[in-house]
Structure 1
Amino acid sequence: MKGLGLGGYEPDSQRDVAVAFRIQVAEDEQFIPSHRHRKGQLILALHGAITCEVENAMWMVPPQFAVWIPGLVPHSNRATPGAQLCFLFIEPGAAAMPEHCCTLKISPLVRELILSLSTRLGNELKTEATQRLTRVLFDELPQQPQEQLQLPVSLHPKIRMMVETMAAEPAEWQTLGQWASRFAMSERNLARLVVKETGLSFRRWRHQLQLILALQMLIGGQTVQQTALSLGYESTTAFITMFRKGLGQTPGRYLNALTTPSQ
C-alpha cells in the first residue's frame, strides 16, 4: 500500500471513520497482489481504469464508477498505466454500505465529496467541518446505483486458464469447441463446467469478459474499430451490437457519458 502514495497509511492501524487518498498510478505500480483489511474500501476511478479480483469475480471500474469491497474481503487490483484513482477507507459499521462486493455508479456530488475528503488528512479529519462532510457522504454513498460490471470466475484450474488466456489473447480463443479440444473434453461437458463454476453459459460469460476487456481498451485510447479487431470480431457492427446488448449503449455514447476531465 505504501507504494501507492498513501504516505505509509495502514488502514487497520487507525479508527477514523473515513479516510480518502488520491492516487497517481506509476508505470511500475500497476498491480497490487491479494490483500485484505478491516476497513471497507471504495476504489473510485478518476482517469483510466482499474480491475479488481474479489470473491471469485473480476470487477471492472471505469471512470465515474467505483468498486465497493467490504472489510476483510481478500482482493487484488490491476490499474491501467497512468490511472488516477481515489481510495476511500470506511470504518466497519460507519455507513450503510452493501455487505457484498459491487460496482457503483458514482454521482458528481459523491465524487466531489470523496475528492474533498482526500485533501483532509491528520488532524483535519477530526474537525467539525470534516465530520459534517463525512455525514453527507455517508448519507449519499449508500444510494448510488449498482452496475453489473463483474465477471464470475473460480479457482477451478480450467476456468482460470480460460480467463487468463482469453484476457491475454482474446482474438485467438473465441469458441467453446476450441477450449473443449484444448482440454480433451466434449463441448457438452465443458459447457456444464462453465455454468457450474460461473453461473453463466459460455457465450454469456465470454461476452462479459469481452465487455471488461473492451472498456479497458477503449478507455486506454483504442478506437472502436481497433477494439473490435483486438477482440476477434470480423466486423465493427457485430462488436457494437454485443456492447449495446451488454451495457445498453453504443461504445461511443457510453464513453462520452463517462468522460469527466480530472481536476
Structure 2
Amino acid sequence: MAEIHRFDVDHFEHDDLPQPAVALMLETQRNDSESAVHQHRKGQLVVAYRGGIVCTVEDGVWMVPSGFGVWIPGGVAHSNRVTANGQVFFLFVEPGAASMPEHCCTLALSSLILELIIHLSGQVQTYPDNSSTARLVGVLLEQLEQAPSEQLYLPLPASPRLRTIARSLAQDPSNRATVAEWARHVAMSERSLARLIKGETGLSFGQWRKQWQIIVALQSLAEGESVQQTAEALGYESVSSFITMFRKTLGEPPARYVRGTAVRQYARGSRTLE
C-alpha cells in the first residue's frame, strides 16, 4: 500500500487546489483532539476510520462513528472533536464537482468509498486532469453521491435558555432532571419550555435528550468504554434500560452495533495505517 501522507489540517492549503477532490489523514494520540471553529471554501467529508468524531455546527451536533462520515458543505462554520487515538480522513470536494447535499448530514460509507479515500490520501494532491488518480476520483465522487444518510444528529437550539440546558447536559450527561425541573431552573413555565424546545428542535424534550444520550453513548463506545460504563455515565439505573433505549433508536443493541463496526473494519482489512 502507498505511504499515507500526513498533513496539519490547519495548514494544508486544500482550498487553493483546483482538483475535484483532495484527501488527507489525521491521527490523534492519547488525548482527544479538537479543532477551533473554522470553515472551508470546498465541501468537506470528515471520515472516522478508527474511533469517532463529534462535529459541531451552529445549529447542531453530528456524531460520526467508525465507518461513517459527516458531510459539511463549503462555507459552513464548524469544529471537529476526534476521540483519543482516533484516525480520521478528510476529503475536500471542489464546489460543483459532485451532487452533494446542501446541508450537513452523516453518511454511511461503503468499503469502496473508504478504500478510495485512503488511496487518494496517499497520492500527490496536485494530480493532472487526465491522470489515473483523477479517474479514480471520478469513481469516488460518483459513489459518494449515492451514499445513504443516517440520523446521527442532535439539533442545537438558538434560545439562550435552551443553550443553558444544552451546556448543562454536555457537562453532566447523567442529569435526569424533568421538564418541570428545567423550567424552574431557567425561570419558565413547564408548558412554555416544552413549546420552545419543540419549536426550535422539532423534538419533544424527551426525544431531544434521548438523541443527546445517543451522541454521548456512541462517543463513549468509540473510545472503548464498556456498555455498562456508558450506561452508568448516562445515569441509567440498569444496563438493560440503556440497551433498550439504544436498540429502539439505532435498531440494534450497543454491543452488536460495536461488533458491526468491528466487522466493517475487518472487511476493510483490519489494518492500522502506518
> What TM-score range do you get, normalising by the shorter chain?
over 0.9
Is 2:247 the counterpart of 1:244?
yes
Instruction: State how far apart, in whole Å, the 2-side matches of 1:69 and 1:140 are.
Output: 17
Is 2:21 the counterpart of 1:18?
yes
Is 2:118 the counterpart of 1:118?
no
8 Å CA contact 2:37, 2:78 repeated in 1:
yes
How far residue 7 of structure 1 moved from its aligned partner, in angstroms, is 8.2
Aligned-partner residue type, residue 86 of structure 1: F
Per the alignment, residue 32 of structure 1 pairs with 35
Instruction: State how far apart, in whole Å, the 1-side matches of 2:254 and 2:165 are.
Output: 25
Q: Name the SS for the 1:20 alignment partner.
A: strand
Aligned-partner residue type, residue 242 of structure 2: F
Aligned-partner residue type, residue 96 of structure 2: G
Per the alignment, residue 108 of structure 2 pairs with 105
8 Å CA contact 1:19, 1:121 repeated in 2:
no
**Cα shift readout 1:235-255 (whole Å, capped 9, x = no counterpart):** 111111110111000001111
Per the alignment, residue 3 of structure 2 pairs with none
Instruction: State how far apart, in whole Å, the 1-side matches of 2:190 and 2:93 are.
Output: 46
**Cα shift readout 1:135-192 (whole Å, capped 9, x = no counterpart):** 1101101111100000001222122221221122111244212211211222111111
Per the alignment, residue 230 of structure 2 pairs with 227
Per the alignment, residue 203 of structure 2 pairs with 200
Aligned-partner residue type, residue 67 of structure 1: V
188-197 or 84-93: bigger deviation: 188-197
Per the alignment, residue 190 of structure 1 pairs with 193
Per the alignment, residue 160 of structure 1 pairs with 163
TM-score, normalised via structure 1 length? 0.93
Give the % identical residues: 48
Consecutive unaligned residues of structure 1, counting only runs of 5 or more, are none
Consecutive unaligned residues of structure 2, counting only runs of 5 or more, are 1-5
TM-score, normalised via structure 2 length? 0.90
How far residue 6 of structure 1 moved from its aligned partner, in angstroms, is 3.7
Aligned length: 261
Q: Name the SS for the 1:8 alignment partner.
A: coil
8 Å CA contact 1:51, 1:58 repeated in 2:
yes
